[in-house]
Amino acid sequence: MRFMARFDPIFQTALDHMADTHTRRVLRPVRHAGAATVIRDGRELVNFSSNDYLGLSHHPALTARATEWLQQDGTGAGASRLVTGTTAGHMQVEARLAAFKGCEAAVILASGWQANASVLAALLRLAAEQGAPPLVFTDRLNHASLHQGCMAAGVRQIRFRHNDLGHLDSLLERHAGDDARAMRVIVTESVFSMDGDRTDIAQLGALARRHGAFTYVDEAHATGVLGPQGRGLCAGHEIDLVMGTFSKALGGFGAYVAGSRALCDWLTNACSGFVFTTAPPPAVLGAMDAALELVPMLDEARARLARNAEHIRGVIHGCGLSSGPSTTQIIPIMTGGAAHALSFATRLETHGILATAIRPPTVPPNGSRIRLALSAAHTDGMIDRLAHAISLAARERA
């Protein structure tokens, strides 16, 4: 043990620096008492930090099918998909997912981070093999997993200003005369997880077609919530590759990529995050299957979620605070400094609200915030309680 601890001073110095800058994280366990409440330190809190946007994590249809498939096929898949890990359940979920997304095919992966980091890396390596390094245009606020995919492929990102498609257009024009063999790839998100704003997918698709660019769009925070029947903002638009997750509005775990049959067949051969990992287990697949069956029927829940989000943005603005560019169920309360975000979160918790402070490096310096994530599982009373807590916390801060 003494030998194992000899580098601890290095780690402790880094931890001390994080503490001094109010950016050190500490794990605080909770018990989920339902889709919208947690128990922490013996106290019930209304949870406004979960990505369970439709409250499906506790829906009886998901738990019943997860249990059914678990009892039928056991606790694990036992191998990777290309060995003996593929079951009829995997094929059923992928077919249902492709139909839901309006694509020819879909591939399930273990997590959203793994999907972006490995799928994007595989795609960009293939593009480089065509004769020239790809030109990759990325939104400055893309998720860390998307940056990781670019880094893993060894490509330089050409970053455009956040959600500024005019700037993206100008960058594509600037590089129009570069090596004609180089594949143009645009990588962005449809809904951004920290700001709650959305990309104009119609404009993005038109711009990509004009420049002959491949489009890769992360729909993790839109799937289930936005678009017709919750099919995401890319539904009905010409986007080459759509990625999303089951771990947010779909109430379970895992991720997916949807696109053409050729694309998906190639990924099952070339994407390391698919080839070299154990297949998702039966219980996870059962929850996926039930969610995909249920989500198209939840239009009323999606409408209520949108109304509640608009109401809370009004409360925030009425307190003299900013909710940034949010237009979705993700609503930041901008605080600036990390210390201010932590103290605001503490004040909310004293009023029975769990709303996590988000600090650098997750967000830019001086961009700390409270990240509210609303759910259709929140009752009117819970929404009223949140509004009251925000007003009290804002006055206490002043």
* pTM (two decimals): 0.94
Answer yes or no: do 241 and 355 share one domain.
no
* Residue 180 pLDDT: 86
- Residue 49, φ and ψ in degrees, nearest 5: -125, 5
Q: Domain for residue 94, yes or no?
A: yes
Amino acid at 65: R
The CB density around residue 325, as the number of other CB atoms within 10 Å, is 14
Give the mean pLDDT of the chain. 96
How far apart CA 312 and CA 375 sit, in angstroms, is 12
Residue 3 has pLDDT above 70, yes or no: no
Return the closest-CA partner of residue 137 out of 92, 187, 175, 90. Answer: 187
User: Which of 87-91, 174-178, 218-222, 351-355 comes out lowest in average pLDDT?
Assistant: 174-178
- Mean pLDDT within 69-84: 97
* Domain that includes residue 186, residue range: 77-280
* Residue 6 pLDDT: 83
Instruction: Give the number of domains in the chain.
Output: 2
* Residue 49 pLDDT: 96
Return the closest-CA partner of residue 107 out of 260, 230, 215. Answer: 260
Domain boundary at 245, 280, 315, which?
280
Q: Domain for residue 3, yes or no?
A: no
272 CB-near residues (< 8 Å, 6+ apart) = 118, 121, 122
> Residue 213: which CATH number?
3.40.640.10
How far apart CA 247 and CA 45 sit, in angstroms, is 21
Answer yes or no: do 203 and 91 share one domain.
yes
Answer yes or no: do 161 and 255 share one domain.
yes
Over pLDDT 70: what percentage of the chain? 99
Residues marked active site are found at: 51, 143, 189, 193, 218, 221, 248
Residue 256 has pLDDT above 80, yes or no: yes
Answer yes or no: do 116 and 251 share one domain.
yes
> Residue 302: which CATH number?
3.90.1150.10
User: 5: pLDDT confidence band, cut at 50, 70 and 90?
Assistant: confident
Residue 36 has pLDDT above 60, yes or no: yes
Position of tokens 């009290």? 392
How far apart CA 154 and CA 133 sit, in angstroms, is 9
Domain boundary at 252, 280, 308, which?
280
Answer yes or no: do 323 and 243 share one domain.
no
Q: Domain for residue 286, yes or no?
A: no
Answer yes or no: do 264 and 370 share one domain.
no
How far apart CA 296 and CA 293 sit, in angstroms, is 7
Q: Domain for residue 158, yes or no?
A: yes
- Burial of 241-276, coded b for 16+ CB within 10 Å and e otherwise, reads bbbbbbbbbbbbbbbbbbbeeebbebbeebbebbbe
* Residue 144 pLDDT: 95
Q: List pLDDT tens digits, range 198-254.
A: 999 999 999 999 999 999 999 999 999 999 999 999 999 999 999 999 999 999 999
How far apart CA 185 and CA 212 sit, in angstroms, is 9
Answer yes or no: do 201 and 236 share one domain.
yes
Q: Domain for residue 360, yes or no?
A: yes
* Residue 81 pLDDT: 96
Q: How many CA atoms lie within 13 A of 240 on its CB side?
A: 18
**8 A C-beta contact, residue 244 and residue 100:** no
User: 130: pLDDT confidence band, cut at 50, 70 and 90?
Assistant: confident
Answer yes or no: do 268 and 323 share one domain.
no
* Residue 1 pLDDT: 53
- Burial of 277-286, coded b for 16+ CB within 10 Å and e otherwise, reads bebbbbbbbb
